[in-house]
Structure 1
Amino acid sequence: MASIHDEIKALFSWNPPPLKPITLPGRKPSTSSCQPAIYDKHISPSLVLRHVKRLPTLVHDLAANVDRALLAASEALPPVDDFFTAKDRAKILKHVEKTITDEKGVANFYDKTAATFCTPLASTLALHPTASTADWTGLLIWTHSVSSSGYAIMDGELRIFRSASDDEVAEREKIVETMESETRRIFEVIGDSHLPFATWEIKSPFAGPLEVMLAVPNLGVFSWTSCTHPNCSTDQTHINKRRKTADIKEDDAVAPLWNLEESLFPTKHLGSSASILSEELSVPAGQASSGTKGKERQEEEEPAENRKRKRKQGDGDEAHKSRHDLTARNLVQQAWAQAVRVDGTIIILHSGNHELVCVRHRKSQTLYVSDLIEPPTCKDPGYGKLQVGIYLAAIQDMMDRTKQRLPKSQPKSPDGGNGGNPSGGAHKSSRFQGGAGGKDPGVDKLVTIEKTIQATSKRDMLLLYLQYGIYDSPIPASFIRSAPPIMAKATIPAPPLSPRAIRTYTPNECLSIVLTSEIGRGATGVVHRGALKLNNGDRSTLLDVAVKLAFDSQQRDMLRTEYETYRRLRSKGVLRGLTTTLGFFDDTEGDLCALVMLYAGNSLLEEPERILSVSDCRSALSTLVSIHHAGILHGDIRRENILVSDSGVTIIDFSHSKQCDDQGAMDIEYARLCSFFGFE
């Protein structure tokens, strides 16, 4: 039997087989990617990417770090018994599909091969080199069930393994106990944060072709795609908040494993690095760059009406949408934005047969990029060693940065903030006046709210700002009302139905909403809490609102269904126990849509200990009966969709609703709601 050192050496020289991209009959493969999401466009200017620089020594720096770590741990390594040996790898590869049709196939292959083979060794070398009894049980996992989605597109991450069973917990606790005290303290802080060590942006070979990957290291000065609406905010409150976030600077590692000064070397032809990229695959980066620019320009000139038509014709399928051409710039912006959101340093751009390793330098707002890597033909280092090096570096970088923060402040909260709630969850202690979630208002306040709702229904332009966590909109995203308002008492002219109807709007003709937190996400999209501001001459009114944003075609259809259900229910006289709906809007620049409603409180799931009065319970049941009498089956009665506040109980989320006359189905829904209230 080979020794553990022999097997590690074999792993270091291991390369995956090449993946074979294929197209399915009758389906055109995706060669494109969505343009930057609304969240990407509203990241604080102090956090966006400014420069992309080539770092040709990065791969060898990572490999040298592996050698140092292995030398330090060589005397205490576990036996070979449970290590993924060369024989084990060969068996596994026989059962992993090597023909792929999309990025999911690429991610699945990486997960079952490189990630599976390399995480145990990286975990041992970086975190518990003296745990000789661990039998190669690691503390890491690579997964495409990621920390965050719906913002930028992140397809994979390296994070701490979350044990499920008592046996798993006990086994991994024994490993943690072998760590040095300082390492253990830092590791536990990282575990509490739930943040990943590194992030992967994965594309299929169709969407991440060689030309695009070659262009990435040569992007140079980077122009971040921000919201381009011409009406920049003049609101002093917003200006003050923007100033507060202008000085946000995340920490870089004190002792990085890479020499960034090497990025000053003159750019050479990437194909000349024979150990990384074979000669026959070399393409001049300049040619690749010019080709992608042409596609990008063509897309920018395409009328919005044509893009909308494409969307309606059914090409919103995630694997085969072609709304926007993928360019190196879009790929890099997506990857950088997601790394900012999870405070990551190491970013991997991977498309199966090609890969780039990137380092995010926060202080200079620069992305340093390796030369192009060809996984099937890697040599000096082999692909296995390179992946172990990436994992090691990601762990050591995060340990370094976490250690810097420990003496200065308390550990970060699970959502990544410093004890606050920058990226999600309602701030339960703060309630805006005017929304349905506030305390029971007096008569005068109710009159003011009603007048504000009516005025809101007469305004068709929505200016949407993001003002939480890493987001700070310098200018708003603009949305246009695309469905008649539900709440208008009198008949008013039909709203514009497409972005082509945009005209110049004065501040007194617009609605302004500042999104202040994320409070939920699901099949329909992402739900935020925010403050709606309505200017009326010299005065303004605030409403506490919830805004649902839908991104892909399925979500948009579900959100429109929900809006139309609210309209039908109101036309049938169902008013009590439903949230007030203020409008349905389409993004003027992209494919998002938004449903704006008054905020109605926290869900039964969030407040399981809350005791409801018998009157509130009966009121909620009465609301459901009224919904059924209107011929509507809710379709998704869950604790998450029952909201409670000082104003009463509200039933929300009609995205799964349908017209129905099946009394049996209605009785089942009614019984389910009764069970939430303890009624038989």
Structure 2
Amino acid sequence: MANTSLKKASLNASSFSAAHNSGRGTNEKDKDEDEDDERHPHSQPTSFPQVPARDELINFLKSPLAPFEASKRATKSTKSRHPRFYDLHLHPDLQLRKIVVVEDLPEKLAEICKKFLSTHLVHLTYSARFPFDKHAERDQTKAARPTAIRNESTLASSYHIRFGDPLSDVTSTLVFKRPKWEGVFEYTLFPRETKDMNFAIPDGFLCVTKEFEATEKVKKALSKEQQEDIDAIIKHNFHHLALWEFKNLFAGSKETMDGFVALKGDFTWPTCDSTGTRCGDVRHTTNNVLSETGRQIGFDAKDVPILKEIFQREEEKAANILTEILQTGAPMAMDEEAEHQTASTSGKVIAAPKTLVDKKTATTAPTSRSTIGKKERKAKDSKRKQETADNIAEPQKPHIMAVQLWSEGVKYDATVLILNAGNYEIICIRRRDTQTLYISRVLSVTDVIYKEAQIGLQALAYYDARDRAYQLDTLERVANPIFPRSYYLKLNPNPYPPVHKTAASLSQNAVVNSDAIYQNLLKELRSKDKFRIMLPRSIFRKNKAYGLYTMIRHSGASMPPEPSVSNWSLELEKRITARVYSVIATNERNSFTDKLVIKLAESSFEYDQLKYEYKTHLRFQNESFGIEVFGIIQVPDSTMHGLLMTWAGFPPEELRRKRKTLVVKKNRENYLKAIEALHAHNSLHGNVKVEHFLMTDAGRVSLISYKPIRLTRTASEIDMDKGKAAEQEDEDERLAKEYAIRMEGEMKLAKNLSLA
């Protein structure tokens, strides 16, 4: 038996392949192979012992792990970063609203790994060395030792070596059925985007390897279908598959992690006040409007089994509770702990907990210090001071950590988030449409299930990104789709982070520079009278913000004999300046950005002004400061109208925000030149303000807005209207003088702008 068992351990991958492909039972096949080994004792290499890949993996997964320990010089700070500008100004549609605890989430993830183990891993070659051996030398370094943890940085580095590298290699091999243990995924401490690194930056990332993005050889090692999957993920900027946020061993104590789980239920997101004193950031307002941060987000996965099960289960649970309340009229029953706390605190005023001691005694300790004896008070105060000195588990800290983790997920549009404190970990799943965070119980890294759950988690992150990427690909093939609100979220200022150089968002998917296609767009704008337009809900506060809108033309151009619908759709994007929004123009195959803008008028008064501006733009659209206009869009069943124009740049403050201050400085005299050119036509602007000028990167200045001018009337003119005689030349002279005064005033204002 011993000889047979030893020979079983030396079976190579081809033996498992034959067993897998045959219709016979496994035991019968193993017996035949044992007999073959006895007849041919030298059929396998004997230079070193070989263990089947599946057994190697099982041994690795079940091998015990030493817990992390703090070094003698470790920081004992448990402070966590408080919310800042990006967090406090996060768009309401992106804020966390609810936390749900999924107790069996680790087991669900481990099932993914167990499915991989249910086969013999026949795709691996006989000589494939296990990644645990490959990383063994690195594991002996000082950084990887469990007792070397000084702070978050050393914890992140140690986790990278002990877990990140080997587990990403294992997951890649299992998911893509690679012939050897090597990565398509990689664990890294740095994101793909390197800009905007001063906010919402996680400590670890699971990404598609850089080699895959840059090297065709690595890419060709996968099947065509797998290549297409990876390409779709990269294209839509989903290659940050999972994010890690680390807390040092003191900040992430068991009490703090338990406090994080205790956040379950409705979540209150911290926001900035109107004065900006809370964020203290110069970007608090944009054009006198409260700034909104975030990024354009994708969809939730639809066909990832575990996610579907979790989401549906929680939805059914919530629906059942609601049904019970509606049927019985009774409030939702509390658990035993909640009932105990309610009973014990009845009739007492409880002090707000500030330390762990307060938190533990809050349900029984009254606030009056007179009820506590001197000795008890002295002992309690001494213990509180000690725990305060050690910075243990502030009650508000879990809430701060949740804000930090969720903001990072929003910034990188990630679904899988991990909160790791060395020896304890909480796995989180972000759901976009309901703004919900599904979290696991506190998991110890020494748990037998930990490695299996991690492998399942990384595989889940890949399946999720693939599903979401293909949803966007499907939408691209639909002519004029009505996109869900969640994806077309518009933000102010520009969404963070910038799109990766190898990726493009849906709206920018086919952005082209072909002059022929652009000319086709212009032809449509000049001839068609109906366009499909998407208006942001923040502007058009009705359920139907998408539909056919009519173009009203005042130019006298010939109109088609019958209403004609353009095959180009227009979508309002971000606001450029006062009531002016950039537009994305798309048809079935192409799209353009930075080509068109729309100026909106929401009231009848603004519409009257808009009609005046339309006529003024028509008059000057061929001048150096002019902008071509196409017509006024009329929104059905609404007082809203929009003047459609060509794109002409940004206001100066936006260029400065884009770090193009030098462009503004070099060309600021063009503000004055634009007003001079307008005055050369004996016309006034009416309201010279900086937000009414737009400047391109090349320095060209255009006038985006005009205001109707009404000159004052004298008493003699009023009398003249009543029939009293007055000389016409006197009136002309007076009007000329007033024009001159107005022009001089506008020149001074423009000169001040050019010197600013």
Given the two structures, how large is their TM-score scaled by the length of structure 2? Answer: 0.46
What's the CA shift for 1:106? 1.0
For the aligned residues, what is the CA RMSD?
5.5
Structure 1 residue 172 and structure 2 residue 218: aligned? yes
Query: 2:59: which partner in 1?
Result: 10
Query: 1:502: which partner in 2?
Result: none
What letter corresponds to residue 189 of structure 1 in structure 2? A
Query: 1:215: which partner in 2?
Result: 259
Alignment gaps of 5+ in structure 2? 1-48, 278-283, 319-333, 338-352, 363-390, 479-486, 488-498, 516-535, 540-576, 583-605, 610-649, 670-692, 702-756
Larger mean Cα displacement after TM superposition, 69-78 or 340-349: 69-78
Q: Secondary structure at the match of 1:101?
A: coil
Query: 1:418: which partner in 2?
Result: 505
What letter corresponds to residue 138 of structure 2 in structure 1? I
CA distance in 2, matches of 1:290, 1:8: 46
Q: Given the alignment, which residue of 20, 27, 45 partners 2:69?
A: 20
CA distance in 1, matches of 2:97, 2:109: 25
Query: 2:472: which partner in 1?
Result: 405
What's the CA shift for 1:49? 0.9
Distance 1:119 1:363, change over 3 A: same
Distance 1:111 1:358, change over 3 A: same
CA distance in 2, matches of 1:253, 1:289: 45
Give the percent of matched residue pairs that are identical in Structure 1 and Structure 2: 21
What's the CA shift for 1:159? 0.8
CA distance in 2, matches of 1:94, 1:346: 30
Q: Secondary structure at the match of 1:185?
A: helix
What's the CA shift for 1:199? 0.9
What letter corresponds to residue 210 of structure 2 in structure 1? R
CA distance in 2, matches of 1:349, 1:579: 49
Q: 1 or 2, which has the higher helix percentage?
A: 2
Query: 2:463: which partner in 1?
Result: 396
What's the CA shift for 1:89? 4.8
What letter corresponds to residue 206 of structure 2 in structure 1? L
Residues 324-363 of structure 1 mapped to structure 2, 5 A cutoff: 327-363=397-433
What letter corresponds to residue 544 of structure 1 in structure 2? P
Q: Secondary structure at the match of 2:169?
A: helix
CA distance in 2, matches of 1:32, 1:514: 43
Distance 1:140 1:111, change over 3 A: same
Query: 2:653: which partner in 1?
Result: 545
Given the two structures, how large is their TM-score scaled by the length of structure 1? Answer: 0.50
Kept in 1, the 8 Å contact 2:71–2:149? The answer is: yes
Residues 338-487 of structure 1 mapped to structure 2, 5 A cutoff: 338-375=408-445, 377-379=446-448, 381=449, 383-409=450-476, 414=500, 418-420=505-507
What's the CA shift for 1:152? 1.5
Residues 86-485 of structure 1 mapped to structure 2, 5 A cutoff: 87-97=133-143, 98=145, 99-126=148-175, 128-129=176-177, 131-132=178-179, 135-147=180-192, 149-163=197-211, 169-176=215-222, 178-179=223-224, 181=225, 183-195=226-238, 196-219=240-263, 220-229=265-274, 250-258=299-307, 259-260=309-310, 291=359, 327-375=397-445, 377-379=446-448, 381=449, 383-409=450-476, 414=500, 418-420=505-507
Distance 1:329 1:13, change over 3 A: same
Q: Secondary structure at the match of 1:109?
A: helix
Write out per-residue CA displacement over residues 28-69 of structure 1, whole angstroms, 9 at most, x where no aligned residue. Answer: 644212222212222222221111111111000001111113
Kept in 2, the 8 Å contact 1:154–1:338? The answer is: yes
Kept in 2, the 8 Å contact 1:200–1:350? The answer is: yes
Write out per-residue CA displacement over residues 580-617 of structure 1, whole angstroms, 9 at most, x where no aligned residue. Answer: 9xxxxxxxxxxxxxxxxx99875xxxxxxxxxxxxxxx
What letter corresponds to residue 505 of structure 2 in structure 1? N
Query: 1:32: which partner in 2?
Result: 79
Distance 1:50 1:90, change over 3 A: same
Kept in 1, the 8 Å contact 2:232–2:470? The answer is: no
What's the CA shift for 1:193? 3.1
Distance 1:288 1:369, change over 3 A: farther
Q: Secondary structure at the match of 2:437?
A: strand
Kept in 1, the 8 Å contact 2:242–2:417? The answer is: yes
Kept in 1, the 8 Å contact 2:187–2:207? The answer is: yes
Distance 1:38 1:174, change over 3 A: same
CA distance in 2, matches of 1:404, 1:201: 28
Distance 1:125 1:579, change over 3 A: farther
Structure 1 residue 68 and structure 2 residue 137: aligned? no
Kept in 2, the 8 Å contact 1:292–1:327? The answer is: no
What's the CA shift for 1:268? 10
Write out per-residue CA displacement over residues 111-166 of structure 1, whole angstroms, 9 at most, x where no aligned residue. Answer: 1121111112211222x22x42xx3222111111114532323111111001289x
What's the CA shift for 1:235? 11
Residues 584-595 of structure 1 mapped to structure 2, 5 A cutoff: none
Kept in 2, the 8 Å contact 1:53–1:367? The answer is: yes
What letter corresponds to residue 545 of structure 1 in structure 2? E
CA distance in 2, matches of 1:92, 1:235: 50
Identify which of structures 1 and 2 has the higher relative contact order when contacts are C-alpha pairs closer than 8 Å and 6+ apart.
1
Write out per-residue CA displacement over residues 342-362 of structure 1, whole angstroms, 9 at most, x where no aligned residue. Answer: 221110001111111011122
Alignment gaps of 5+ in structure 1? 270-284, 295-320, 430-469, 474-510, 517-537, 550-558, 567-574, 581-597, 603-643, 648-680
Q: Secondary structure at the match of 2:131?
A: coil
CA distance in 2, matches of 1:348, 1:184: 27
CA distance in 2, matches of 1:58, 1:406: 30
Kept in 2, the 8 Å contact 1:255–1:400? The answer is: yes
Write out per-residue CA displacement over residues 359-416 of structure 1, whole angstroms, 9 at most, x where no aligned residue. Answer: 11222211111111111x212x1x3222211111111111222222321127996477
Distance 1:408 1:600, change over 3 A: closer
What letter corresponds to residue 272 of structure 2 in structure 1? C
Write out per-residue CA displacement over residues 157-186 of structure 1, whole angstroms, 9 at most, x where no aligned residue. Answer: 111001289xx824412322x25x2x4322
Kept in 2, the 8 Å contact 1:205–1:351? The answer is: yes
CA distance in 2, matches of 1:268, 1:248: 40
Query: 1:41: which partner in 2?
Result: 88
CA distance in 1, matches of 2:271, 2:206: 29
Kept in 1, the 8 Å contact 2:248–2:422? The answer is: yes
Distance 1:374 1:247, change over 3 A: closer
